[in-house]
Every structure is written in structure tokens, then in C-alpha cells.
Amino acid sequence: MSEVKKFMYVNRKAPYGTVYALESLEVVLIGAAFDQDVSLAFVDDGVYQLTKGQATDAIGMKNFSKTYTALGDYEVSKIYIDKDSLEERGLTLDDLQHLVWEDEDDDWNEKDSIRLISRAEMADLFDEQDVVLSF
Amino acid sequence: MKFAIVINEGPYQHQAADSAYQFAKAALEKGYDIFRIFFYHDGVNNATSLAIPPQDDRNITALWSELAKIHDLDMVVCIAAAQRRGILDENEAKRQGKPCFNIAPGFRISGLGQLIEAGIIADRIITFGD
């Protein structure tokens, strides 16, 4: 199993209301152990998954939003946000959690994981992938 | 061509399970390999042997079991998703102190690593479900 494939996890749904976001994150965390080339895409309502200040007590759900900040530790450092999806929901980058990773090749400096990209760039990115898992 | 199939929706609620079954059957009849079928989210409910659909309707679980038997398919149910939704095999039922198990013949319970491995090994991974 030495071949490295490009895996893209596509997150399209809001974090609560359905279980898809939570179970998608579980796949990403398990998948991190497989040493593949991993990217995450957040499109449509999926952009809500990364919003700051989520408070779930009132709906009785487990708040799993802090887990996204651990992605850098799992060497998941390529997180692509569809800029149009963000803007359509009245959100900006400031509304999202600040996700970082430590660059081993650059004295472990912290670098931003999040990259805002256009729909056209997102389409190109999809095109490059070997495996697309959409949740 | 070696396929892997992911099913993310339960039977009867959503056509994804039927479409996946029809796809798998057609692919096998045409001589393609299916490396693995992976059941996730509510897709794990495809594996319950306790469902009783009306007699004049299709029995999706029985269809899967039959297909697996004929073609020696590897049908894997995600353990975390399965446990949340009450799909257990004999060992897990014993371990968790539950009175019975309900996984149908031809299915096995394993981890999400099996999904990633399917993505690595198959030439195409095809997802059914929204």
C-alpha cells in the first residue's frame, strides 16, 4: 500500500441538524493515519462547520468544533473554503476558526491551513484528486 | 476496473441503497471487480437482519446478502456508525452486554480504515447518498 493518492474530503453540510459533518471528521482523523495526500474542502453550508464560537448546549448536541483545530497535528494542512459559499452566507474569514499547522521544513513555523478559493479553482482542485469522498 | 462502493443512506428511506445495489449487480454481471462495499452514516442500517419489509416489496438486506454470497463480496459496516445505530455482530453484542445481535449474513463490522483502504486500492470509489 505504498502508492500515495490524493484524497479530498468534501464537506457540504452544516455541523448540526444531520450527522454528516461529525462523521466526516471521524473519517478524516482515521484517514490521517494512512499517509495519503489529504485536502479538505468546505462548500455550501459546509462552511458553517468552521465557524467560531459554536455553542450547542441549548440543542443538546456534542460540540465537536474544537476538533478542527487538531487537524494540523494530524498533518492535515490543506483546507480549502469556497469563497462564494462563505459570502453567500454573510460570512468572512474572520468568522471562522484560525486553523494552523506547523511546517517541519521551516523550523516548525505555524502556517495558516485555510485557503479561500473561487469556485473555478475548487473545480480544478476536484479534477486533480484520485479519491473524492463527499459528506 | 476495480470498484469500491460507499453507501451513506439507509434502506427504504432513500434510493441510494437501491441504486448502489443495482450498480453493484450490473458491474459484477459485466465482469468488473468490486473490492469492497462500505456502509457508513445511516447506510449501516442496510445490514440489519431484523427489518421486515412488506412481502410484496423488495428486501434490500436479503438482496445484499445474496449478492455477497454469489460474488464473495466484502461488505463492511463502519463500527462507530453501527454502534450508534444499534447494528451489532455476535462478538460486539456479547462485549456490550446486549441481548442479541442483528447483523445479516455477508456483512462484517470493521473500522473506517477499511474505507480509506478501499479508496487507496480501488481504481474508482463511488458514493451513493446525498
ipTM confidence score: 0.90
The tens digit of pLDDT for each residue in A18-36 reads 999 999 999 999 999 999 9
- CA angle at A43 for the pair A131 and B120, rounded to the nearest 5°: 10
Smallest CA–CA distance, residue A53 to chain B, in Å, is 26
CB atoms A30 and B112 under 8 Å: yes
Catalytic member of B60, B78, B88, B104: B78
The tally of CA atoms less than 13 A away on the side-chain side of residue B123 is: 6
Q: What is the pLDDT of residue A1?
A: 53
Distance separating alpha carbons of residues B127 and B10, to the nearest angstrom: 13
Q: Which H helix or E strand runs over A30?
A: helix A20-31
How do beta strands A100-103 and A109-112 pair? antiparallel
What per-residue confidence (pLDDT) applies to B130? 83
Give residue-wise pLDDT tens across range A87-117. 999 999 999 999 999 999 999 999 999 999 9
pTM: 0.94
CB contact under 8 A, A7 and B8: no
CB burial class (10 A; 0-12, 13-18, 19+) of residue B83? middle
Nearest residue to B4 (alpha-carbon basis) of A81, A98, A130: A130
